[in-house]
Amino acid sequence: MLRKTISERLVEEWLDRHKIEWHRIRVAITPGHRRPDYAIRVGGHRCVIEVKELTPSAEDKQLIEDARAGIIEARWVAPGKRLRPLIRSVEKQLRKFSSRGFATIACLQLSERRNDSALHTGPAREVHRSAAGRRPHADRTSGFTA
Task: For residue range 8-39, list pLDDT tens digits in order.
Answer: 999 999 999 999 999 999 988 888 888 899 99
Count: domains in the chain: 1
User: What's the rounded Cα separation, in Å, for the pair 53 and 67?
Assistant: 24
Residue 109, domain CATH: 3.40.1350
**33 in any annotated domain:** yes
**107 in any annotated domain:** yes
Q: In terms of C-beta density within 10 A (0-12 exposed, 13-18 middle, 19 or more buried), how is residue 53 classed? A: middle
Range of the structural domain that residue 81 is part of: 6-129
**134 in any annotated domain:** no
**138 in any annotated domain:** no
Report pTM.
0.67
